[in-house]
Amino acid sequence: MGLLDKLSVWLGGGRVEASVLVLGLDNSGKSSLLHALRSADQRPQHDADYFTMVAREELQLALAHPELRARRVPLLVLANKSDDPHALPAAHVAAALGLERISDKPWHVCATSAVSGGELAGGVAWLARQLRDAALQQRR
């Protein structure tokens, strides 16, 4: 079972529809992370749109888009290549992206490695909790 299947289970087993924004500089491992998310999945496609954007300015532009600005969508930043000895800690990645200025939506930085899978499941679990909590809030 791949992590996207686990996300569905963590959300209660229902059909998962999500848009996932994958941030990353060139050669940062975005494709490897997506492969790690789908590695054990046998279905050809999930109900997810993958957008690859680069760095802080692009993140700010994306978050300023009316559809994202008007909604409290969670933001998960996967700081890949944490197994590299020169990798920045998650807190430094958050500061470099200016995430501390985001107060209208939950965000989380997860240091991970697409090669080892380290902490990738933890990041997906955080996202699942955020989506589940948002769905519960909408029902109230």
Binding residues for GTP: 80-83
AA letter at 52: T
In whole angstroms, what is the distance from residue 102 CA to residue 113 CA? 25
Q: Identity (one letter) of the amino acid at 2?
A: G
Phi, psi angle pair for 39, to nearest 5°: -55, -40
Binding residues: 80-83
Picking from 4, 9, 37, 20, the residue whose alpha carbon sits closest to that of residue 76 is 20
For every residue of 72-127, which 3-state class applies, written as one string?
CCCEEEEECCCCCCCCCCHHHHHHHHCHHHCCCCCEEEEECCCCCCCCHHHHHHHH
